[in-house]
Amino acid sequence: MDKYTKGILTVIAVGIIGLNVQMMNGGGFFGKAHAFGEDIPKVRVCNILGDCAGISYDKKLEVSTD
């Protein structure tokens, strides 16, 4: 192989190793998101008749189509 190809492959290998080390340390490209503030808005899903969706015992959204 020529020097250019070896140089490109070396840059790619170093980048992959750097990404793996960063991800093993709990990093990554984006940090963890944290909510802040005391007033978290609550949303209800309702139709025009005022019938709203509910939450089942296993925390799944229940929507009635009757």
Distance separating alpha carbons of residues 11 and 6, to the nearest angstrom: 9
pLDDT by residue, tens only, the chain of 66 residues: 799 999 999 999 999 988 887 777 766 666 666 767 677 777 778 888 887 787 777 777 776 666
Q: Which of 5, 2, 1, 25 is nearest to 13 (CA)?
A: 5
Q: What is the pLDDT of residue 55?
A: 76
Cα dihedral sign for 17, 21, 24, 29?
negative
Domain, as residue range, for 9: 3-62
d(CA 58, CA 61): 9
Total tally of structural domains belonging to the chain: 1
pTM of the model: 0.40
